[in-house]
Amino acid sequence: MKRLALPLPAALVFVGVFFRSPAARADLPLAVEAGGRFGYGTNPNSDVPNPLAVGFGARGGVEVFQKLYVGGNVMYYFGSTADTPLGATPSNISTSTHTLLIGLEAGYSLHISALIIRPQLGFGDASLTSFANFNGTSNNPGTTVGNFSVTNQRFYLEPGLVGLVTLGPIYVGADVNLLFIPDAEPSTGDAYSSFAFGAQLGIRL
């Protein structure tokens, strides 16, 4: 398994320093955003359970000069479950999948009155977990079928477009993204390009 070490703690420290320092904010005008996200990811492969489906998470970052945005995000997708018959009666394997994304984001903001339109690119570590639960009898009495869980960690890219409407210190918004995992295995359903949609709510100071 490959694991991607992300500088997310450093990004959070960066946000905290500028948020707490009036002198720094005076020298470098910026806005701080933090909030939650609720979303849905489409199934990349109809032959396997959807590793995305409904999800929720959190995101935050800073916007410099009302243009350059940098931040981080965490998103957990609950995935789905599907049964696979094995031929005996009763006999099947129930396979469940879910996905955890931890990454960074960079974008460029366009301000139109209270509306912010932001093309951006997300990238980071995707943990894709599959759990197989055997339920029933085996065709071969001498064969033992056990439950097992496998987690694969992959690098992901997520280009997208975010739209936010500011209402005082509150923002509401939506986003649409292409979630791409370039080095996963197609046979397991891990390799995919999916559409991911989200609704956002948070504060902007």
pLDDT of residue 19: 45
Q: Tens digit of pLDDT for each residue in 121-173?
A: 999 999 989 888 776 555 555 455 567 788 888 999 999 999 999 999 999 99
- Closest by Cα among 156, 157, 182, 172 to 204: 172
Q: Please tell me the predicted confidence (pLDDT) of residue 178.
A: 96
> Residue ranges of the chain with pLDDT lower than 70?
1-28, 84-92, 135-146, 184-191
Task: Write the CA distances from 175 to 37, 109, 141, 162, integer angstroms.
Answer: 10, 13, 52, 4
The pLDDT of residue 172: 98
Can you list the domains of the chain with their CATH numbers? 8-82+99-130+150-204 (2.40.160.20)
Task: State residue 71's pLDDT score.
Answer: 98
Q: What is the pLDDT of residue 17?
A: 45
Q: How big is the CA angle at 140 (ends 134 and 145), to the nearest 5 degrees?
A: 25
* pLDDT value of residue 13: 42
Q: Is the dihedral of CA 102, 200, 122, 15 positive or negative?
A: negative
Positive/negative CA dihedral, 192, 194, 198, 203: positive
DSSP assignment letter at 146:
-
CB 104 within 8 A of CB 124: yes
Q: 10 Å Cβ neighbour count for 193? A: 12
Instruction: Give the CA distances from residue 191 to residues 26, 90, 153, 155, in Å, rounded to whole numbers and listed in that order.
Output: 46, 32, 11, 11
- What does the pLDDT read at residue 141? 53
